[in-house]
Amino acid sequence: MIQANPHYSELSDTYLFVTIARKVEEFKKVNPDRPLIRMGIGDVVFPLAPSVARAFSEAALAMATPEGFRGYGPEQGYSELREAIARIDYRDKGVDVDPSEIFISDGSKCDVGHIQELFAPEIHVGIPDPVYPVYRDSNIMAGRKDFIHLIPATRQNGMVPLPPSEPLDLVYLCSPNNPTGAVLSRDQLASWVEYALRNKALLLFDAAYAAYIQDSELPRSIFEIPGARDCALEFRSLSKSAGFTGVRCAYTVVPKELRIASQDSTVRVWDLWNRRQSTLFNGVSWPVQAAALAVYSEQGQHETGSQVAAYLENARMLANFFRDRGYEVYGGDNAPYVWVYLGRDSWEAFDLFLNKAAVVVTPGSGFGDQGQGFVRFSAFQTPEKVQQAVDALKDLL
């Protein structure tokens, strides 16, 4: 009889955000008229920027004409888009990335989930705790449960996971961090690069929230750190920077010189990822890539930048609300997440906020054991709803 992958039984029953959605549905059944304020999953609410929507629809309509129709696209993504990304996200900021090192995809969740397929089964994997659950779950699915080493981010270390004394092979880093909002400083990131070079480890740098970094002293890209091209690759997404959570477009940067061990020799990670993507992925649709290209136009940068600024303003409002009440707060300055220490069970706090204030948050313990006692607020809401949430919570805290 066909057997299931045994490692799926090592996962928790449902993915974190599915559990939250189920609880919210139950609440709505009992309280059908109560308007909810959703600050749980980090899903954007502002509509697509006008210039982006225009490019999206024009490309879709062109697909209905003989001249404008396009079939399969280039595997790595259209070159105009990769060139615009290399220029605007990297070269204009003094960071050396070639368009040929960029792979366009349909989301960072997919890329960070799939990347572990490139590596041997029995490697030692470092994963911060708390962190985005996909890093851990994808490695458990691949049979690496006993090879995962959690790197604690705690109140004691300011929510910053630092290099351990033990050598690891693969390390996931997320900055600005999901869920804590903490951003690695240049020195902290340099200590990880030094660790990786010393241990011949590979760093997977998830920079999906890079657009939220406003402080010019903080690195947006790991490639700002000398030596990183020899030990790191980077994930970026348009989901939160340009409202693409439903549209789906992201990219992964794999430096051409990045090599890892393979039997008695070494192999380029670029070759492995290219082989994986060209075999198992057929690219992002042309209208989506045309929309992404419009994000990199002057008008697109202006329009999407205003949305990021508005979400950041929400984050500041939330962070200040909790700080004024004496709570310990992380994130919210250069990140769209506000991570609040409540000192009570995270799911209990989730239930309280939902049932008494109709505010949906994410329980910190859903991101790892070290998240216990915290809740995460997503600032991806309208300013009016954030104000309503703050008003509703005033009576509870």
Q: Which residues bind ligand MLT (CB under 6 A)?
A: 41-43, 109, 132, 178
CA angle 52, 54, 57 (to 5 degrees): 110
* Residue whose C-alpha is closest to residue 139's, from 152, 151, 129, 124: 124
Cα–Cα nearest to 314, from 245, 390, 388, 381: 381
**To the nearest whole angstrom, how small is the minimum distance from the Cβ of residue 132 to ligand MLT?**
6
- The two three-digit tokens of residue 334, written as one number: 């250069």
Quote the least distance from Cβ 209 to ligand MLT, whole Å. 9
Distance CA 338, CA 234 (A): 23
Q: How far is the CB of 50 from ligand MLT (least distance, A)?
A: 24
For residues 162 and 152, give the distance between their C-alpha atoms in angstroms, rounded to a whole number: 8
Residue 46 CB burial class (10 angstroms; 0-12, 13-18, ≥19)? middle
C-beta closer to ligand MLT: residue 286 or 330? 330
Return the structure tokens found at 77.
């993504």
Residue with Cβ nearer ligand MLT (42 or 128): 42
- Of the two residues 36 and 62, which places its CB atom closer to ligand MLT in the complex? 36
- Smallest separation (angstroms) from ligand MLT to the CB of 58: 28
Give least dist CB 105 to ligand MLT, A: 13
* Cβ at position 321, least distance to ligand MLT in Å: 20
Q: How far is the CB of 371 from ligand MLT (least distance, A)?
A: 12
Between 132 and 353, CB nearer to ligand MLT: 132
Q: Which two tokens stand for residue 5?
A: 């992958």
CA distance 214 to 211: 8
For residues 258 and 222, the answer to whether their CB atoms sit within 8 Å is no
For ligand MLT, which is the closer residue by CB, 135 or 286? 135
Shortest Cβ contact with ligand MLT: which residue? 42
**Closest separation between CB of residue 369 and ligand MLT, Å?**
17
For ligand MLT, give the closer residue by CB, 16 or 150.
16
331: left (phi over 0), alpha (psi -120 to 50) or beta: left
DSSP bridge partners of 261:
266
Nearer to ligand MLT, 78 or 172 (CB): 172
CA angle 14, 181, 270 (to 5 degrees): 75
Gyration radius (Cα) of the chain, Å: 21
User: Letter for the amino acid at 343?
Assistant: G
The tokens 């419009």 sit on which residue? 294
Q: Please, what is the minimum distance in Å from the beta carbon of residue 336 to ligand MLT?
A: 9
Instruction: State CA 182 to chain mean position distance.
Output: 13
Compare residues 21 and 392 and give the one whose CB is closer to ligand MLT.
Answer: 21
CB-wise, 174 or 291, nearer to ligand MLT?
174
